[in-house]
Amino acid sequence: MRSLEEDRKIKTAYQVDFLQSFLARNQLGMADILLKFSRKGTSAEDYKLTVLEYQDILGILYNNSSLTKILCTSKNRVHYWLMDYLKQQKHYNLIEIRDNGNSLILKNNPHREIKIGILPSPSARSVMRYANKTEFLQQVSQIYKQAITNDE
């Protein structure tokens, strides 16, 4: 997609259409854990974000009974934020968090276990740590594919 020789608006529209089509075709959804946040400085680093309000992830799960998995794109921040969100007292829909934060059970269906997976971050900062960036991105791509298609 980066090689499209179009202006930025057309490329962005193409990327959005591609992603929406991919998500719908594979019955996937995507949501940010943070609904509102403040940023320290101009850095894009997650550790420079201050949480102001979380997305209602439990509400999304509660209202969409076919969802069986949450995938976080980093253990350091995204998974931490998810655990912080889940541990807040206002979440009356949650029965328990199991397996050291690897699954959760909702009150509306105690037999429904929602798996929580942690994926490697595909961020530019993560990629820069590896000498063979192409190999790293291929490995990350395989891990994502396996996580998305695996029912465990």
Predicted local distance difference test score (pLDDT) of residue 107: 79
For the segment 34-85, what is each residue's pLDDT rounded down to a tens digit? 999 998 888 777 878 899 999 988 888 888 888 888 888 877 788 888 888 8
Domain ranges of the chain: 29-118, 120-152
Predicted local distance difference test score (pLDDT) of residue 90: 60
Kindly state the average pLDDT of the residues 113-141.
81
Predicted local distance difference test score (pLDDT) of residue 15: 81
Predicted local distance difference test score (pLDDT) of residue 5: 66
What is the gyration radius of the CA atoms in the chain, in angstroms? 17
Q: Is 6 a residue whose pLDDT tops 90?
A: no
For the segment 76-111, what is each residue's pLDDT rounded down to a tens digit? 788 888 888 888 756 666 777 777 778 888 877 888
